[in-house]
């Protein structure tokens, strides 16, 4: 009986020591599993925005001491932007980097930044987005089940075509132009006399190649990294849109982080934004040069007729009247 008691006592003490050790490990973090956040990116690996999202991932890891890890899936591995936004809102996907044109379908207040020719130039654009107006829009995101951390550079979008170059306003008329699935871009293209053709980004190359569409519109970086320059060799610099891109995070995933982790993720996003803007602007010139070296022709066009034709679009969005007035004061 005495031997049984000693054996039982020994087992109890061993278990107690094990439990105490486990609690100590949990306390010092050695046994805590990191929070893994899955992030969607629709651009390929050589696009500066994707490079910047890898930077964001590294910064989150560094600033949280490995407590939070961002697992980035580029080249639309997790679906197209519209799907990604829906997944983030539903809490199925943690993070996504998306263009504000697509995102404005879920966050209507964001649409003002996607209006054609809304920003006088890039300096003014950053002043607006990084200032009070931009913050007011960011503050609205939780209403839609998301949070966002600021505004990335997505370049200035212009038209490019397969056969007929757009050297003047008249040349765009009647051409089938791929646009994002957003009312503003559809209305804009129709107002200049072209035929707006909404289409997922991943379908554009084949559509250009097969003649389903006559052209599309994007910045030099996307034009080149997507390979569109191979089939649409006429690029016309009308600069009709300059919408920002954004990192969005599910409110559900955000709420799973503690205050220190939230602070670290926000700081990582801020630093990645500075990095991305610089890189994107540098690579616009680089990819323009590469496209021209590959046989593409870049045309400088008079934008005034485009602006005049598109002007009525502002009347279709009376909900933006106040904020447009404030933006014009900065412009």
**25 within a domain of the structure (yes/no):** no
Task: Tell me how crowded residue 49 is: count the other CB atoms within 10 A of its CB.
Answer: 26
Say yes or no: 206 and 223 in one domain.
Answer: yes
166 inside domain: yes
Q: Are residues 65 and 190 in the same domain?
A: no
HSE-up of residue 249 (Cα within 13 Å, Cβ side) = 19
Q: Is 268 in contact with 37 (CB distance < 8 Å)?
A: no
> How many separate domains does the chain show?
2
Q: For residue 222, which of 46, 76, 51, 85 has the smallest C-alpha distance?
A: 46
User: pLDDT for 269-326, tens place per residue?
Assistant: 999 999 999 999 999 999 999 999 999 999 999 999 999 999 999 999 999 999 999 9
Question: pLDDT confidence of 165, banded at 50, 70, 90?
Answer: very high
Q: What pTM was computed for the model?
A: 0.86
Residue 185 is assigned to a structural domain of this protein? yes
Is there a single domain that holds both residue 90 and residue 226? no
* Same domain (yes/no): 120, 100: yes
Task: List the CATH number of the domain containing 190.
Answer: 3.40.190.170
Give yes or no: residues 103 and 182 share one domain.
no
The DSSP H or E segment spanning 195 is: strand 195-198
Residue 225 has pLDDT above 70, yes or no: yes
Query: Is residue 129 included in any domain, yes or no?
Result: yes
Domain that holds residue 259: 35-154+243-286
3-state secondary structure of 74: coil
Q: What is the pLDDT of residue 32?
A: 82
Q: Two tokens at 298?
A: 């870049």
Q: CB–CB of 101/241 below 8 Å?
A: yes
Residues 305 and 210 in one domain: yes
What sections of the chain are H helices per DSSP?
Answer: 2-28, 48-63, 81-90, 100-103, 122-129, 132-138, 183-191, 204-210, 220-225, 251-255, 259-293, 304-310, 321-330
Do 132 and 60 lie in one domain? The reply is yes
> Does 209 fall in a domain?
yes
Same domain, 94 and 43: yes
- 149 lies in the same domain as 281: yes
Domain assignment of residue 24, yes or no: no
Number of helical H runs and strand E runs in the chain: 13, 11
What span, in angstroms and rounded, lies between the C-alpha atoms of 99 and 105? Answer: 11
Residue 301 sits in the same domain as residue 319: yes
94-126 residue pLDDT tens: 999 999 999 999 999 999 999 999 999 999 999
303 in the same domain as 179: yes
Task: Looking at the structure, tell me whether residues 105 and 232 fall in a common domain.
Answer: no
pLDDT at 9 over 50: no
Task: Tell me phi and psi for residue 251, to 5 degrees.
Answer: -60, -35
Does the pLDDT at position 40 exceed 80?
A: yes
């Amino acid at each position: 009986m005495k031997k049984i008691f000693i054996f039982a006592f020994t087992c109890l003490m061993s278990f107690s020591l094990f439990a105490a050790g486990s609690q100590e490990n949990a306390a010092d973090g050695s046994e805590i599993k990191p929070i893994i956040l899955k992030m969607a990116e629709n651009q390929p690996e050589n696009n500066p925005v994707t490079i910047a999202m890898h930077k964001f991932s590294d910064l989150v890891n560094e600033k949280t001491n490995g407590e939070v890890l961002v697992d980035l899936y580029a080249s639309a591995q997790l679906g197209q932007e519209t799907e990604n936004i829906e997944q983030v809102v539903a809490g199925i996907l943690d993070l996504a980097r998306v263009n504000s044109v697509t995102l404005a379908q879920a966050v209507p207040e964001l649409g003002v930044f996607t209006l054609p020719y809304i920003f006088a130039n890039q300096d003014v654009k950053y002043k607006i987005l990084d200032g009070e107006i931009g913050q007011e829009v960011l503050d609205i995101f939780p209403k839609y089940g998301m949070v966002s951390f600021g505004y990335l550079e997505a370049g200035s979008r212009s038209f490019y075509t397969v056969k007929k170059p757009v050297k003047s306003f008249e040349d765009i008329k009647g051409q089938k132009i791929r646009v994002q699935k957003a009312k503003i871009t559809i209305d804009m293209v129709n107002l200049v006399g072209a035929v707006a053709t909404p289409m997922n980004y991943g379908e554009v190359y084949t559509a250009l190649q097969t003649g389903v569409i006559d052209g599309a519109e994007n910045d030099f970086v996307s034009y080149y990294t997507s390979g569109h320059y191979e089939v649409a060799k006429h690029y016309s610099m009308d600069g009709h849109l300059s919408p920002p891109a954004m990192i969005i995070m599910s409110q559900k995933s955000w709420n799973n982080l503690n205050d220190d982790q939230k602070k670290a993720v926000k700081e990582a996003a801020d630093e990645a934004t500075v990095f991305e803007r610089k890189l994107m602007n540098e690579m616009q010139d680089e990819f323009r040069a590469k496209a021209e070296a590959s046989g593409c022709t870049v045309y400088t066009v008079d934008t005034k007729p485009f602006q005049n034709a598109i002007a009525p679009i502002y009347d279709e969005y009376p909900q933006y009247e106040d904020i447009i007035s404030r933006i014009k004061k900065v412009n």
